[in-house]
Structure formats: C-alpha cells, structure tokens
A and B are shown apart, each in its own frame.
Chain A
Amino acid sequence: MLKTDKSIEEMSKQQVVSYLNETVKPEEGVIPAYLLGNQTVYDIEHEKVFLKTWVFVGHESEVPNKGDYMTRDLAGYSLIITRDNEGGIRAFYNMCTHRGMKLCRADKGNKTLFTCPYHGFNFKNTGELVGVPLQKDIYGGTLDRSQMGLHQVKLESYKGLLFGTWNEDVEPLEEFLGDIKWYLDILVGRAEMEVIGVPQRFVVSSNWKVGSDNFVGDSYHTMVTHGSIAKLGMVPNATYSKRGFQIHTENGHGLNLGTPNPDFAFPEELKNEFKSNLSEEQYEVLSNLKNMIGNVFPNLSFLISHTKIKDQFISNTSIRMWRPIGHNKMEVIAWMLVEKNASQDWKDRSRDSFILTFSPSGIFEQDDTEVFTDITEAAQGPMPFLKNLTYNYTMGLHREPVDFIGPGVAYDDKFTEASQRNFYKYWLELMTK
C-alpha cells in the first residue's frame, strides 16, 4: 500500500497530480475514496476537466422562438443562451463588459435587448453593445462600442443537445462524443424531441462523480437500492436489471442497454418517424429497448425508463446534469424530453411517469440521493486519504467484450464495472495531462 507522510492539503497541485497517477488505478479496478472528498482534487477537476471539455448547457427546444433566451451554468460561470432573429443560437458570458455586472438574472424569457442594471449598457441578443447612456457627452465620442460586445462562448449542438466550453482549442463536439453519438441518436435523435416545461433542480450533498458513476455503469445497484420498485410490480423482478449490454466508448462515455423488451417502449404511431431518423441497426435496438442508462463525460447522464404504471406500460426520456457546487455538493438539473409529435395523452403519461420515478420526488431518484449523500460523507476529510481507503471496481475484469450491433466495447450483460473503469480512465487522463 502506498503511503505518504504529507497530508493532501500540504501538497502542491503538481504533487497531487503525480499522487493521482500513483493511486488511481482504473484498469486494476482501484479507485481511492479521497477523490470524492477533497478540495484540491475538486479545484484541479475544475481547471482540467470542466474548463477543458464540452459541458452540457441545455436543449435547443428550450429556446424555440426568436428572441428566446435562458441562463445556464458552464463550469461555474453564468451564460446567456439566446436565439436571434435568424434562428441562430449563441451563448455569451453573462457579464456586462463595462464593469462586470451580471447582465441577465432571470432563468428564461423572451427579449432581444439586455440592459445592465448597473449603468444601463444595452446589448443585443447577438452580443453587440448597442447603447450606452449619455455616450457622446461622457465619452466624447471615444468609446469604441464594437470592441465591447459580450464575450461569446463556444457552443455546439448535437441532435438538439447544446454543449458549451471555455476551451478555445477543444476538439469539435462530434469528435469528443465519438461513438456515444450512435446511442444519443436513439435517445434524442429518434424523433423531433422537446423539453417539457422547465428542468427540475435540487441540491444533494454529494460529489458529482457519484452520479456519473451510477449512471455510466452501475446497473448492479438497481436490485437493492430500487428493490421497492419490483415489489410494487412496476418492473418484472429484482434481477431484470442484469439483462442487456453494457457499452463504453472513448473519452469516458458509457451506457447500459436494458434489452430485450416484449413491448414497444415508444409511441407506436411514430414508428415511421423513428425509422426515418435511425439506421436499421439503431431501430432494432430501439425496438427491443427496456431501458437505457448512461453518461456523457463528464457529468451529463441520460435515461430511458420503461415501467408499468396503473397497469399500463409507459416510457420516459430524461437527461440530467450533476453540476458540481463543491467537492461534497452538487445541483442536480433534470430535463424531461418527449417526442414532439406524440399524442397529448402519451406526453402527459410519459411526464407523469418521469415525475413519479426520476424527479426529486421520484421513487427511484430519492433512494439514489440517499446513497450518494452517505458515500460522499464517508469520503470526506484527511482520514480516507491517509489510510488510502479505496473502492473496488473489479467487477467483470475477467470478462471479454462481445460483438454488438452498435459501436463501442460491449459486454453481454449489465453487471460489470467496465464503464466506470473507462470513466475514471479518461478522468485520470485529463487530470494528469
């Protein structure tokens, strides 16, 4: 066992990075507990992960009309995301370029002009500074407004999913997503999708990685943590969660595909729309899908869940972000998506099944947050570091991948921790770069 005489608080960032290299061993299934409970690790994550990669900021359908805007967080900084008169979507740092005041303080709305509450500087939703009170008088015509537009933030979309980044040298979004795109097509590209209402937000005293870890590869917990669901008859039995495939792709992404499903989990009347948007192979996966649970690195989790409610099967599609607030705190932001062309009855039932299962009151969700909180608490402070307490991620290390109809490294049931190892492998790569 590795030992250090120093506490992590006494180490320089560089020393912490080399210590990570020595102690984090995803390929051997060894992940130290201090990763979930340490401020220095959290600070390095902020710089090397969240300021470097693409981070999810919202869905295009949340700003459907010209002049719509919403404010969102990107790695701890507020963005204004606007749709201009030509339909283009842009993101700006939510900061007035004059004195730094937060320009827009509402969650969402519709306007084309943003006025700073401090000195009244006016910005168009395209970022240009168009008005400065008493400009001629006080600046004597010397103020170059063209140099004072809002700071534009790199924003790209994949099938309606909007991602932003502070990193100017980042690879294109599609390259970063890589093979996980094939599965995101099934999730949000199968039809025209829209967000219902607004996202749900709540705060959990948990390190963000616990959430990503849970969604990227942990189908194993379903039997126990969610044992109540089987008891209520909403899913077939406690071991149903093993059936299917676990898949991971490059850059730390991964998912679990629950399959087969004797029932078609999606609106029957939209089969043609699904077929026209998906390849034959993707449609075959969709047709047999019972559930799909995964994570786009670092912190965008996604879910299709198919359950029996009031004697009727219904599925719901959602995405959620584990937004870090501190090393032991995160905001969970959960969006629910539905096929725009589905019937109102389907939309309502799908929404209500989401609320019942995966909203803050959701009967799946609430048991997870209880676990996340206690795991995080046990990892806090110097002891887990000094004693080098580690978690065991060896499940499935002995197994070989199988051929699968879709891309990525696939295993032929979901009870393996290969996806979590893959998540931490990429995390470590970024942290020690």
Chain B
Amino acid sequence: MKVEEMLVKCEFEQWLYDEAQLLDDIEFDEWFDLMHSSLCYQMPVRVNKDGVERPDYSTKMFTFNDDIELLKLRVDRLKTDYAWAEIPPSRTRRFVSNVRVKDFVEGEKAVVKSYLLIYRSRSTDIQHDLISGERNDEFIFEDGKWKLSKRIFIVDQTTINTRNLAIFV
C-alpha cells in the first residue's frame, strides 16, 4: 500500500470513528449533519439461500430505506417525548474495523467498505444484543467535508436478534 493510500484510509477510518462516537453519544443532530442531501440509507433483508447464489439479500425489501427527508423524520421523532423505544436510550458501542477504500477521487468522491459490530444494552437487562454487518458507504466531498451519500448495511442475520432498530446502523 502506498503512503498516499494509507493516508486516505486513515482519513476515512477517522471519519467512521467520529461517526460512531456521535451515534453512541446520542448526538443525532450532529450525526445528521454528516449526511449528504442526496443520501440513500439502506439495510436490505438478508436471505438464507441455497448454495453460493448471490446476492444473499433481498433487492426489494429493506429494514431501512431512507432518503434525507425520512432520516430527518426519524431523528426528529427521537426528540419527541413519546419515542418510547429509546426512553431511556440504549447504551450502544459501535466497533468499526476492516476499513477498505475501494474508490477515491480527491476532493470529489469515495467508496469505502467497513465492518460494523454494534453492542446494545437496554434498561437494566443483563442480556445484550449484538448486530454485525458490513457497511458499503459512498461519500461526496462538499463544503470542505466528506458527506455520506449512500450506505448499504448488509446485516449478518436473517432474523434480527434485537427487539427493534430504533438505533442507526
């Protein structure tokens, strides 16, 4: 790997770490500011297929399929007094790893893949939930910052083992 490539990888690793911190710290407005107006935020439903047939997820049904407006609605909802699913908020910890820059045009766009493991603890429950998957992210450089324009989160379960996805992936 060339030094320039390492620097780019480092830049996006840092971006993803900062994002993880905002979500884990429940700074949703600040997190929302990382999104590009052309956002496509998707989480397809994973399917258990016979053999090595791919893709092994649905291209028609999603657990998230938001544009910027719908994502804004979710963030706004969490700020009402009635968003019971996250009252009190879950304690989450997002572990980001295996970051790979797939495409990069300086000052323009980038495609980055990474692995994500979310630890979630609710209320006083001693049980915790784990959500594992791969993020396929696309970025657009705007106003001197990288903004997330597309995220496809491929979750590693066909039946999701957490009570809801009131948290972001």
Contacts and interface: CB of A to CB of B under 8 A. Distances in A.
A and B from one complex: yes
Interface of A: 104-109, 111, 196-205, 224-228, 231-232, 309-310, 331, 336, 351-352, 355-356, 359-363, 365-367, 369-371, 373
Interface in B61-86: 61-66, 69-70, 73-74, 76-77, 80-85
A370 B84 contact: yes
A232 B77 CA distance: 7
Given A201-B158, A355-B62, A355-B63, A227 B163 contact: no
A366 B66 CA distance: 16
Contact of B50 (A109, A226, A363): A109
Main SS of chain A's interface residues? mixed
Contacts of A373: 163
Given A197-B59, A355-B65, A226 B47 contact: no
7 contacts: A107-B47, A107-B49, A107-B158, A109-B50, A109-B53, A359-B63, A370-B163
Contacts of A363: 73-74, 77, 83
Contacts of B47: 107-108, 198
Nearest to A335: B61
A159 B98 CA distance: 48
Contacts of A310: 69-70
Nearest to A201: B159
Nearest to A109: B50
B14 interface: no
Shortest 3 CB-CB contacts between residues of A and residues of B:
A197-B61, A197-B60, A227-B82
Contact of A202 (B66, B69, B161): B161
A367 B86 CA distance: 8
Interface string B39-66: 0000101011111010000111111111
B160 interface: yes
A296 B114 CA distance: 43
A107 B82 contact: no
B49 A109 contact: yes
Interface of B: 43, 45, 47-51, 53, 58-66, 69-70, 73-74, 76-77, 80-85, 158-166
Contacts of A224: 82
B125 to A, nearest CB: 8
Nearest to A225: B84
Contacts of A111: 50
A232 B80 contact: yes
A370 B164 contact: yes
A122 to B, nearest CB: 15
A367 B82 contact: yes
A356 B59 CA distance: 17
Contacts of A361: 43, 63-64, 164-166
A104 B158 CA distance: 16
A231 B79 CA distance: 10
A202 B80 contact: no
Nearest to A108: B47
A316 to B, nearest CB: 12
Contacts of A227: 80-82
B48 A367 contact: no
Contacts of A370: 84-85, 163-164, 166
Nearest to A310: B69
B71 to A, nearest CB: 10
Nearest to A336: B61
Contacts of A367: 82-85
A206 to B, nearest CB: 8
A366 B166 CA distance: 6
A105 B48 CA distance: 8
Contacts of B64: 355, 361
Contacts of B161: 202-203
Contacts of B48: 105-107
Nearest to B50: A106
Contacts of B74: 356, 363
